[in-house]
Amino acid sequence: MAEKLIFYIPVWNKYLSAIRILLKKSVAGEQVISMNRSDFDKAAGIKKSGYRFVINFVNNKPDALYSGNGFVQSFISVLQSDETIRELLSNSNYSFVFNNKYQLQIKNNGLFEQAAQPALEEEIL
């Protein structure tokens, strides 16, 4: 599994600056970046279609463990290695959807959970 993780890191790093910009722009609405399929095929050494995932970052962390999926883990690893992206992820909740057309959709979901907690605390008092 660690080998597959290493395969995709250079590809995600190639798109990292664009992802960073789109994360900032996602406050205004959903953003999409189209990626080059051949980058992923070359990284893995095989032609594979059907790469897909959905990751929700809540409170700066992915919503699930993606063990056994080097493709997704490499994406998460690259995001978390970037200081600017870590800061953005800590300030808001995001959804990342990668579809089989090699498009990454980025959506800013706001801070719904933090907004709900003070209201709950007020009800208890």
Three-state DSSP state, 55 = strand
pLDDT tens digits along 33-92: 999 998 988 887 777 667 899 999 998 899 988 888 888 999 999 999 999 999 999 999
pLDDT tens digits along 78-124: 999 999 999 999 999 999 999 999 999 999 999 755 444 444 455 55
Q: What is the pLDDT of residue 4?
A: 64
Count CA atoms closer than 13 A to 64's CA, side-chain side.
11
